[in-house]
Amino acid sequence: MVNMLRLPIRAFSSLPQLPKTSFEPGPYQGPTAEEISFIRQSNVTPILKPLYQKPLMLHQGHMQWLYDNKGKRYLDMFGGICTVSVGHCHPKITEAVINQFNKLGHVSSLYHHPKLFEYSKRLAEKMPGDLKVVYLLNSGSEANDLAILLARLYTGHTEILSLKNCYHGMSYQTMGLTSVGHYKYSVAPPTGFHTVMNPDVFRGPWGGSKCRDSPSQTSRECSCESEECKAGHEYISVLKNEFRSVVPAGKLAAFFAESIQGVGGTVQFPENYIKEAYRIVKENNGLFISDEVQTGFGRTGEHFWGFEGHGIIPDVVTMAKGIGNGFPLAAVVTTKEISEALTKAAHFNTFGGGPIASTIGLAVLDIIEEEKLQENSLSVGTYLLTELAKMKERTPYIGDVRGKGLMIGVEMVENNKNLTSIAPGKFSIFLEKCKDMGLLVGAGGYDKNVVRIKPPMCITREDADFTLSVMEKALKYID
């Protein structure tokens, strides 16, 4: 049997050609790959594992492009795990950071420095309703951790619900929210956390061909008899029952939900599920907390925030990743009334809202507006989703295509007739061959069988065509 992973990439003719760019990377002058490997084994925590069998050694980036230590160019369609929002080393961000470092690098929020206030105001202006109070931090885990504290302080309740298959962080407390076994350690869990059925219209017990707010739907037959989503009603019925069994009547602290599940494999919920869940949360006197760590800042295309596509205004919004285009920056945004709960004791973050972080945050907002990246996410993302759905019809290895804008998931299966998740070895071959042809995509989902496409929002239609060509070619290696 031929080992397809070792088969030369030129075994298949007419390989896709990377779109042209005028950018020229500088020469790599750091440690060799062998030295890096030794350091990794000797000095770096063993939990850090590379995505590829042969680790990819990157040293420079520009917009949607990444370059390895040998100068090879790659199209980055994963964006540093949905984090690089406006482009690698965007010149406007670089210039702003240099200018700010020349003035002031760091002071804490114990002192007034203009950038924290300028950025907090600009960010609050992007929020609907009474979501006008901003607390700046460094990561999504920190943001969700603070949101837990805030909800319990404000409501006086302890019980918190989240959806199965969700990912909300890896701090000890957010591990209670996260519901993917890969990210749970065998230690005593934090108390007061409960997970409820995930309304997954592809893998769950209910779902059809009209359930999702997406250009691409599942291949399941839809049994809806009207414009109302029957699957959504079924999942809401289950949610109501789970409320009755795990939450003391009327004493919920919070319900957490991503607008589209990210790490869990770009899972979308039935239309109106989140709106109905919000109503149930309010009936139980809890706060609805929207995790916009991956879906925020225009990535879903039609709206700046993912929750806007669900027709709700949450009580608390958490955000990170794309907020800083790769720089450690995060935020919790809530109402004035709810924010007052945190004043019951002292709470402080040394680096949150520092001059550099705030400067970058401002530059990211400017770039998204000036370069119309939200509009680009909608245009290029819809094209990608539509073409990937067509690709699904041409191969047995794609079971589902889903998402909105430039937040896309492609679930790979052994056969789209029985929907068994593709074998890890085959999925690894697919990722390796994409990489060899110059395309970087991510992996997600409970079985690690979902191709995650979440690139810098500056990608072009030409980049999308290259992505489609490479993916279709890489599928041939697992036939």
- Please, which residues bridge with residue 195 across strands? 162
Exposed / middle / buried, residue 143 (Cβ in 10 Å: 0-12, 13-18, 19+): buried
Between 14 and 45, the higher pLDDT residue: 45
Q: For the segment 413-458, what is each residue's pLDDT rounded down to a tens digit?
A: 999 888 899 999 999 999 999 999 999 999 999 999 999 999 999 9
pLDDT for 40 beyond 70:
yes
pLDDT for 145 beyond 50:
yes
Vertex 198 angle, CA 192 and 202, to 5°? 165
Across the range 81-110, mean pLDDT stands at: 96
Distance between CA atoms of residues 78 and 96, nearest Å: 25
What is the CATH architecture assignment of 92-370? 3-Layer(aba) Sandwich (3.40)
pLDDT for 353 beyond 80:
yes
Distance between CA atoms of residues 320 and 248, nearest Å: 32
- Structure token pair of residue 450: 């979902």
pLDDT (0 to 100) of residue 17 = 95
Vertex 36 angle, CA 33 and 42, to 5°? 145
Other CB atoms within 10 A of residue 441 CB:
24
Distance between CA atoms of residues 469 and 291, nearest Å: 33
Distance between CA atoms of residues 167 and 260, nearest Å: 11
Kindly give the pairing relationship between strand 316-319 and strand 287-291: parallel
Distance between CA atoms of residues 290 and 440, nearest Å: 29
Distance between CA atoms of residues 276 and 335, nearest Å: 21
pLDDT for 5 beyond 80:
no
Q: What percentage of residues in the chain have a pLDDT greater than 90? A: 86
pLDDT for 11 beyond 80:
no
pLDDT (0 to 100) of residue 418 = 86
Q: CATH topology for 9-88+396-478?
A: Aspartate Aminotransferase, domain 1 (3.90.1150)
For 258, half-sphere exposure in the C-beta direction (CA atoms, 13 angstrom radius) is 30
Q: For the segment 105-118, what is each residue's pLDDT rounded down to a tens digit?
A: 999 988 999 999 99
User: Considering only CA atoms, which of 154, 175, 158 is closest in space to residue 166?
Assistant: 175
Within 352-447, residue ranges assigned H as helices are 355-370, 373-392, 424-436
pLDDT (0 to 100) of residue 8 = 53
Distance between CA atoms of residues 408 and 202, nearest Å: 15
For residue 79, the one-letter residue type is G
Binning pLDDT at 50, 70 and 90, where does residue 2 land?
very low
Which residue intervals of the chain bear CATH 3.40.640.10? 92-370
What does pTM read for this prediction?
0.94
For residue 369, the one-letter residue type is E
User: Considering only CA atoms, which of 399, 357, 317 is closest in space to residue 104?
Assistant: 357
Distance between CA atoms of residues 284 and 158, nearest Å: 12
